[in-house]
Amino acid sequence: MKIKWLLLLFALFFVVGCGADAAEEEAAEPQEITVFAASSLTDAFNEMAEAFKAQNEGVAVVLNYAGSTQLAAQLSEGAAADVFASANSTQMQVAVDAGRITAGSEKLFVSNRLTVIVPADNPAGITALEDLAQPGVQMILAVTGVPVRQYTDEIVATFPADFQTNFYANMVSEEENVRQVSAKVALGEADAGIVYTSDVTPDIADQVLQIDIPDDQNVIATYPIARLADAPAPTLAQSFVDFVLSEDGQAILAKWGFGPPPTN
């Protein structure tokens, strides 16, 4: 009888020990979050992810960049993600309406401005936004629905009807996201494009010229961020959102040309 009890205790200790080893092994596996982010955030969020991983050992950050419209559509169709950072509130609302984001949980985390860019040699001699309506100018914009296009349309809507007609008549291409617009203008595939100031990144800065849009004509783009309501890693996802909103996160965004979020 004593031998049976000893064998039973040995078996029990073995099972508990294996369970502890399995738990330790599971805890040691890297955690992962998936972040859906607007294309204009590419450089800033690449650095953001590295900084976040440096503060959270063993964490992996998977970044999915696209136009906010595409990302919101993917989320509406059920794509798995932990965090959504949109270039406008319209596409964030799409995710809210689809039940993927809890209403009221989204936070504005950064702002941006629009600018006209032209190839470095400025073949069309553009000096102001009004020149984009001149005959013969070849212009690239983002496709309708993408936030930068929505902001552009808001600006154009304040001009006279004849300007609006001529402006859109000069559009030779519509791109899926703002980074494709900036890349094509940098390659000289058009005379001009409208992007965010943050899209004039170091890799194209010597290939394009910026033509400022005056404050009284411009709009301020505001970006919201939120954890997905059904995030696979909710605690880690919230930690990433908090990091983006933190002083360190804001410093990274400022480094890449973004402005602070609105205070009201």
In a domain, 216, yes or no: yes
Q: Are residues 46 and 128 in the same domain?
A: no
In a domain, 7, yes or no: no
Output the tens digit of pLDDT for each of the chain's 264 residues.
455 554 444 444 444 444 444 444 334 334 899 999 999 999 999 999 999 999 999 999 999 999 999 999 999 999 999 999 999 999 999 999 999 999 999 999 999 999 999 999 999 999 999 999 999 999 999 999 999 999 999 999 999 999 999 999 999 999 999 999 999 999 999 999 999 999 999 999 999 999 999 999 999 999 999 999 999 999 999 999 999 999 999 999 999 999 999 876
Q: Write phi, then psi, for 63 (nearest 5 degrees).
A: -105, 125
- The pTM assigned to this predicted structure is 0.84
- The type of residue at 28 is A
Distance of CA 37 to the CA centre of its chain: 3
Q: Are residues 126 and 188 in the same domain?
A: yes
- The answer to whether the beta carbons of residues 186 and 121 sit under 8 Å apart is no
Total number of domains in the chain: 2
In which residue are the tokens 């703002």 written?
Answer: 178
Burial of 238 (0-12, 13-18, 19+ CB in 10 A): middle
Q: Are residues 209 and 234 in the same domain?
A: no
